Chain A
Amino acid sequence: MRVPGIVFSSEALLPSVAEDRSLEQVVNVATLPGIVEASYAMPDVHWGYGFPIGGVAATDVAEGGVISPGGVGFDISCGVRLLLSPLDGGELGPALPALMDELARAVPKGMGPGAVWELDSDELDGILTGGCAYAVARGYGTARDLERCEDGGVLEGADPAAVSHRAKQRGLHQIGSLGSGNHFLEIQVVDQILQADVATRFGLSAGQVCVMIHSGSRGLGHQICTDHVGLIESAMARYDIKVPDRQLACVPVRSPEGEAYLAAMAAGANYGRANRQLLTMAARGAFGHATDSDRLDLLYDVSHNLAKLETHELDGRRRQLCVHRKGATRALPPGHPDLPEDLADVGQPVLVPGSMGTASYVLVGEPGAGAFHSACHGAGRTMSRTAARKRIRGQALKRELAAAGIEVRAGSARGLAEEAPFSYKDVDAVVETVEQAGLARRVARLTPVGVVKG
């Protein structure tokens, strides 16, 4: 280990060493060349591949620090956005079943092709280069949407030429689609306001209806990861790099292979952000059909699978670091120059999705927080998909959720069972631990009333 491993957790949230190898993965990440400060894990940490999910690691670019596609994950720029409706729960109530039917129809989900926008190859290149900004310029959204996206919705440095033909083929017919697994679109209601002043600045009020979207860069991002892990693994010997896990394959950031991955990853990130933008347009359309208002204002859109070149002060020096967040959310404090102008004195909204049937949270970045301004990204799984399926059937879970007042529209019953709420850690305990660790502060708690799953 070149640096210590630091896990933000409580005893109850610590992964079981017998069933979950995430702590071993924290140790493995600590061996990466150029890593600084620590190999961090958030309270929602769980077993991934290469990196743990919930892991944060930064490398010093000028000191030969590496970039690892495994530190980003297959689903590049997987992330969350929260949209705010002017409706409250009482106003929505009678329209909810019709809204859910409309969303189930308008939101492509599940396996294979399916898109809100069928692209041609020039349009795909536009998305890869311009992300949300390209989608908005083509009529899919508003200028305000861009103001509230991380990086204005466009990650600089993207190069479509660094993305393989195969990845592009996977991306042509999936822009504006949810996918499957843990991805979702939820109708939520603000259940508790925990920081009134910040909530007001975020535009959140008790009882308000919100839409949370959790999705990523679909098959295109996965293919970029597959392609570049292979290229980088075969180049490692040239840089005399050995890693304890093949999915940790890495090269110096400033190497031809590292630069090529960064350019492809940025393109994947732009696709992921545009994907959530297109899903937003589908949600607005569904609200317009089924309710009195199609207005859904974006609070924020943030990735939780990304590597970014950021400047941080370390040992009294400002250094350019490559910060990998895999299943971890950037959490900028008040005053940070990368915040949207109107949130500059408040801090960044940190979006923490729960697990269908449990709460989600909005947090805000804290001054002086550690882990390179990072916080958790969700509740974090504790149970395997096979174990979840053995414990409950999809139809039974759907009935349980309906009894709790949650309408579900799911692509497959087994997929629904795999995502049963009991498969995850207690999200209330996870965000409480994040706050105790000084990483971010709770602003509002949201509970679901409708869930669309792949």
Chain B
Amino acid sequence: MKPPASKRGHRALPHTADVILEAWGPDLAACLEEAVVALASLYVDTTGARVVERRLVRLLPAAPSELLISLIDEAIFALDTGTAVPVGAEVATRGDGGLDISLQLAARDSITPTGASPKGVSRSNLRLDQGTGRVHCTFLIDV
């Protein structure tokens, strides 16, 4: 399925047992921010979500697809262990090829659970393509 023409966004694609997520943006940071929102859309309706914590995460330099895996792994870890729920992220790329991330966590009583929780990100069919003015990724989430 061809991604929509919008500058940034995300959507879920069909997979028999799990979920394939697709995210895109004008640069790597925007694409990765959309990837976190795509992940959150699986398990929560963020309408009215009250962000109560910003968790700072520093990712070491790595290939962009590995940064994507690490970022999603961080969000899933936060979901599984904390009292607040990841609903978004602010991502900044560093000159050394790493990332500075601020994960936005919302109070559990301010959100409505919607679907199955994500538990892991697969390397199967993982893609992160960087073109001029557009970065696009697809990743498979185990639920």
What's the least CB distance linking A226 to chain B, in Å? 5
Which A residues lie within 8 Å of B120 (CB)?
A: 74, 222-223, 225-226
Instruction: Decide if A75 touches B119 in the complex (CB within 8 Å).
Output: yes
Instruction: Decide if A381 touches B17 in the complex (CB within 8 Å).
Output: yes
A174 to B16, CA, bound (A): 27
User: Does more than half of chain B's interface fall in helix, strand or loop, or is it mixed?
Assistant: mixed
Which B residues lie within 8 Å of A74 (CB)?
A: 119-120, 122, 142
Residue of chain A at shortest CB distance from B44: A111
Which B residues lie within 8 Å of A19 (CB)?
A: 14, 16
- Whether A298 sits at the interface, judged by CB under 8 Å, is no
Contacting A at CB under 8 A, from B111-143, are: 113-117, 119-126, 140, 142-143
Given A180-B143, A222-B142, A415-B114, residue A53 in contact with residue B17 (CB < 8 A): yes
- Whether B73 sits at the interface, judged by CB under 8 Å, is yes
A169 to B124, CA, bound (A): 26
- Whether B109 sits at the interface, judged by CB under 8 Å, is no
What's the least CB distance linking A435 to chain B, in Å? 24
A169 to B16, CA, bound (A): 30
What's the least CB distance linking A326 to chain B, in Å? 11
Q: Which of B47-55, B74-82, B92-100 contacts A (4 or more CB under 8 A)?
A: B74-82
Interface residues on A, range: 35 or more
Which A residues lie within 8 Å of B82 (CB)?
A: 112-113
Which A residues lie within 8 Å of B113 (CB)?
A: 110-111, 411-412, 415
- Whether A384 sits at the interface, judged by CB under 8 Å, is yes
What's the least CB distance linking A6 to chain B, in Å? 20
Which B residues lie within 8 Å of A47 (CB)?
A: 15-17
Instruction: Decide if A384 touches B15 in the complex (CB within 8 Å).
Output: yes
- Whether A125 sits at the interface, judged by CB under 8 Å, is no
- Whether A166 sits at the interface, judged by CB under 8 Å, is yes
Given A20-B16, A246-B126, residue A170 in contact with residue B77 (CB < 8 A): yes
A418 to B43, CA, bound (A): 12
Instruction: Decide if B122 touches A412 in the complex (CB within 8 Å).
Output: no
Which B residues lie within 8 Å of A15 (CB)?
A: 16
Instruction: Decide if A170 touches B117 in the complex (CB within 8 Å).
Output: no
- Whether A383 sits at the interface, judged by CB under 8 Å, is yes
- Whether B85 sits at the interface, judged by CB under 8 Å, is yes
Instruction: Decide if B77 touches A166 in the complex (CB within 8 Å).
Output: yes
- Whether A454 sits at the interface, judged by CB under 8 Å, is yes
- Whether B108 sits at the interface, judged by CB under 8 Å, is yes
The one of A48, A70, A75, A111 that contacts B79, using a Cβ cutoff of 8 Å: A111
Instruction: Decide if B16 touches A384 in the complex (CB within 8 Å).
Output: yes
The one of B83, B114, B115, B140 that contacts A49, using a Cβ cutoff of 8 Å: B140
Residue of chain A at shortest CB distance from B118: A111
- Whether B67 sits at the interface, judged by CB under 8 Å, is no
Residue of B12, B69, B79, B119 ringed by the most chain A CB atoms within 10 A:
B119
A384 to B16, CA, bound (A): 4
Residue of chain B at shortest CB distance from A219: B80
- Whether A254 sits at the interface, judged by CB under 8 Å, is no
Contacting A at CB under 8 A, from B22-73, are: 43, 69, 73
Which B residues lie within 8 Å of A385 (CB)?
A: 15, 18-19, 115-116, 143
Some 16 contacts from A to B, beta carbons below 8 A apart, are: A46-B16, A49-B122, A50-B123, A75-B142, A111-B117, A112-B79, A112-B85, A112-B117, A179-B117, A218-B119, A226-B120, A233-B123, A245-B124, A411-B113, A415-B113, A415-B116
Interface pairs A-B: 8 shortest CB-CB: A384-B14, A49-B124, A246-B123, A247-B124, A111-B117, A49-B122, A47-B16, A219-B80
